[in-house]
Amino acid sequence: MADVPDLQGVLDNDLCIACGACVLADPSVQLHLHPDKQIFEPTGPGGRDAAEVCPAVQVDFAHLQDLLFPGQEQTPYGVVHSVMLAQSTDLDRNLRASSGGMIKELLVELLDRPDVDGAIVLQHVAGLHFEPGLIRGSEEVDRLPGSIYHNLPKHRVLELLEEHDGRFVLVAIPCELEGIYNYITKKAPHLRERIHTTIGLLCGWQYSWHSIRAICQFKGADPDRIVDVSYRGGGPVGKLRIWTEDGKEYAASRRIDVGYQVAFDRTFNTPRCHLCINHSNFLADIVVGDAWLPSTVGTKTGISLVINRRPASEELVRTLAERGRAVFTEVTVEEIKESQKPRVAFGNFAYAYADHLRELGRHVPDMDGPNKVATSPSSRTEVEFFHRELERKLELQRQGRYRRLYVRKLTRELRRFAARYWEWFAVRILRIKSIKGEREELPREMLQIFR
């Protein structure tokens, strides 16, 4: 693996995802919210120790998977024991959650076990600030937020693991686990024993804080007076809701609000997300995401896609079902591909974009995932076009010219914007691929157990 002297390349290319590994590895490093980029990143480049653990510098997936799942076959979906669709039977928990409410069910089950001393999970602090905290009892689970899509500093996970003896459950997005395991394998192997189970989220992207700032501008809210935010809940897709100090609530449909489509366009992602090849969370014991399948589109409350990477994870879901707390049906890896799209599952865009940036002499993370064997790289034209658009739009974001981006979406981007909607409508609602026989849908009777 590359010998990189510091984090300068990460900083110059905005590639930090705020996992916090460098903060623990190098005492000179702290994270701050960069005023122009609106992402958390180190205040300075630190040194070799910081670079050595940084997942924006390198991730050795083959090594980490061997370590975590010794002797198991590494498929393009990572190590897979079984795949399920699942849903909490607790209607309120399911409705408040982002998809099927499975993470909270799993947490309740694990926290009640004698060999688990707590769970390190994201909690709300104030306003837009959320940070990892330690919960000890299952009664605390329903106070946790649903999915939070803006970039957040995660160094507290490793700090909490260092501070507390015992065995803990971790809930984490994929790149967070990359940082955690980079740090543990290179700097603190003793911490591995403190991890009881990792519950991973599937993750397509996260956003810089420009997204929230932009949507606030479109809705007339003051982003500096936000007291809380919720991106999901109330149904399978859910609304973005923002509450401000004066007691007002601002809401935006995540599907049809044009302002939302502008502010949560992929150019608002933290830039490393464009290079991410680990959306399916290869390092987690059990992975939970949304079941975005044509056959689940009719759900009223949301269904989770669950990837069990260990027999013990599958056993956990079966136990929940036996106790009447969840329902599930077994599916195949085809449903991972269908739900996430090959572009995301196999890094079609990310591998091609990394090659392009390398050619331009930019720093990119050194990482090949188990999915590289199945990748079908995006075309050079697509990658070059995206890069040009990204550079221009990042410039506008950093100047706070969000209205310019709104106008752009409705003028020069209108055709592409409309095409994306049409594709979604044709595939998910009209089920054109199924009708043409290009894809097999799950039989209706398999899904009758879900709301």
Binding site for ligand FAD (CB under 6 A): 97-104, 121-122, 144-149, 152, 171-173, 201-204, 206, 288-290, 304
Question: Residue 362 CB, nearest distance to ligand SF4 (Å)?
Answer: 16
- In angstroms, give the least distance from the CB of 199 to ligand FAD: 8
| Between 46 and 153, CB nearer to ligand FAD | 153
Residue nearest to ligand FAD (CB): 204
20 binds, among ligand SF4, ligand FAD, none (CB under 5 to 8 A by kind): ligand SF4
Neighbours of 198 (CB within 10 A): 24
Q: Report the residue number, 51 or 134, with the smaller CB distance to ligand FAD.
A: 134
The closest alpha carbon to 134, from 145, 123, 122, 120, belongs to 120
CB atoms within 10 A of CB 7: 26
Query: Minimal CA–CA distance to 182: which of 16, 43, 58?
Result: 58
Full DSSP string of 259-320:
HHHHHTSGGGB-GGGGG---TT-TT-SEEEEE---GGGTT-SS--EEEEESSHHHHHHHHHH
**In the complex, minimum distance from the CB of residue 262 to ligand FAD, in angstroms, rounded to a whole number:** 19
Nearer Cβ to ligand FAD (144/383): 144
Cβ atoms of 233 and 98 within 8 Å: the answer is: yes
To the nearest whole angstrom, how small is the minimum distance from the Cβ of residue 20 to ligand SF4? 5
In the complex, the residues that contact ligand SF4 under the rule CB under 6 A are 7, 10, 16-22, 41-42, 53-56, 173-175, 179, 203-206, 270, 272-273, 276, 278-279
Least distance to ligand FAD, CB of residue 263, Å: 15
CB of 435 to ligand SF4, least distance (A): 32
- C-alpha 44/C-alpha 48 separation (Å) is 13
Which of ligand SF4, ligand FAD, none interacts with 17 (beta carbon under 5 to 8 A by kind)? Answer: ligand SF4
* Rounded (to 5) percent helix, strand, coil in the chain: 45, 20, 40
Residue 97 interacting partner from ligand FAD, ligand SF4, none (CB closer than 5 to 8 Å by kind): ligand FAD
Using CB distances below 5 to 8 A depending on partner kind, what does residue 100 bind out of ligand FAD, ligand SF4, none?
ligand FAD
The sheet that has 118-126: what strands, in order across it?
129-135, 118-126, 168-172, 195-201, 286-290, 304-308, 82-88, 326-331
User: 117 or 355, CB closer to ligand FAD?
Assistant: 117
List the structure tokens of 207. 């956003």
Q: Is residue 181 within 8 Å of residue 238, measured between CB atoms?
A: no
CB-nearer residue toward ligand FAD: 8 or 89 = 89
Of 399, 389, 12, 41, the C-alpha closest to 213 is 399
Closer residue to ligand SF4 (CB): 366 or 441: 366
Q: 41 or 140: whose CB is closer to ligand SF4?
A: 41
Q: Is 46 left (phi over 0), alpha (psi -120 to 50) or beta?
A: left
